[in-house]
Structure 1
Amino acid sequence: MTSEPSAGRPETEPRAETTRSTWALATSAQVAQLSGWLAFAGSMLGLLGIFNIITGITALARPDYFLVDAGRLLVFNYPVWGGIWLALGIVQVAAGVGVVYGRSWARFIGIDLAALCAIGHLVFLTAFPLWSVLVIALSVMVIYGLVVRSAPSR
């Protein structure tokens, strides 16, 4: 058994070079892969949405959980903030899923939602200071991840 075909016998197995060029009859458009920053930003946007949903439910169900009473908030009261955080969180989760699936509309909406979230938590700072600072920092990271242009990952 030799790997080279004999001169009298036809070759029974095609060589790899010929198979590679003839097996694909049609070309397809290449699908761009999601970059690492977009995957990170999309998942963090979804996580921020879940955080905001939890904050909204807490503000609606247990307003006494927060550090200050409703009279010391900068604007609104806890039920209003609960509705705001709940609505913002649901839309953030949807936009986060859109970013992970590579939808361009979700990137633009995600940037706006992360900015609104940061501004909202700045206003909500007296009620839950450490948590608000953490969410503001995560919102800035999400904005950066959605704005930065990086090469697709391989």
Structure 2
Amino acid sequence: MASNVGDAPEGARVSRKRFATGWTTFAACLMIFGGSMAVFQGIGAIVNDDRYVVTGNYVYKFDVTGWGWIHLILGLVIVLAGFMIFNGAVWARTVGVIAAGLSMIANFLWLPYYPFWSIVLIAIDVFVIWALTAGTHRETA
């Protein structure tokens, strides 16, 4: 029986590398869910931009259809990266962190249009970034 990580059989090491920990797996699920929400948000803004009402005068005011395309593209990237994390792709973790960061910025700027939805997606993106950067394994003594 292997006493530490370095003594593990070759097949066990490969198996551990291919699968992420529970938090990373949960982050991938949240990426798929949050990315899907962003895709629906983008489709809604593209198809019917009169549906969204600006709640006040803000320094930044953008065209809702343009924001719809931004959310649609970011959402698709996040969903694809989420699926690739399940396959163990290291590049998907990097893409996920970058896309979640961009999604946080986009949703912050989307606050005047749909505040509750934006706050929920910002919270999901914060957790995704934490889970993807926290590491994939724990060392035991």
- TM exceeding 0.5: yes
> 1:80-119, aligned counterparts within 5 Å?
80-119=66-105
State the Cα deviation string for residues 50-92 of structure 1 (Å, max 9, x = none): 01100000001111222328x9682430111111111111111
How far is 1:114 from its partner? 0.5
SS in 2 for 1:29: helix
Q: Which runs of 4+ in 1 moved over 3 A?
A: none
What RMSD, in angstroms, separates the aligned Cα atoms of the two structures? 2.0
Amino acid at match of 1:107: R
Overall identity of the aligned pairs, in %: 31
* TM-score, length basis structure 1: 0.74
The answer for unaligned runs of 5 or more in structure 1 is 1-26
2:45 aligned partner: 59
Q: Report the structure number with the largest CA radius of gyration.
A: 1
- Residue 11 of structure 2 is aligned to residue 29 of structure 1: yes
* TM-score, length basis structure 2: 0.81
The answer for unaligned runs of 5 or more in structure 2 is 1-8
> Does the Cα contact within 8 Å between 2:30 and 2:124 map onto a contact in 1?
yes
State the Cα deviation string for residues 76-135 of structure 1 (Å, max 9, x = none): 301111111111111111000011221100001000000000011101110001111111
Q: How many residues align?
A: 125
> Does the Cα contact within 8 Å between 1:73 and 1:124 map onto a contact in 2?
no
- Cα distance in 2 for partners of 1:150, 1:95 equals 16
* Higher-helix-fraction structure: 2
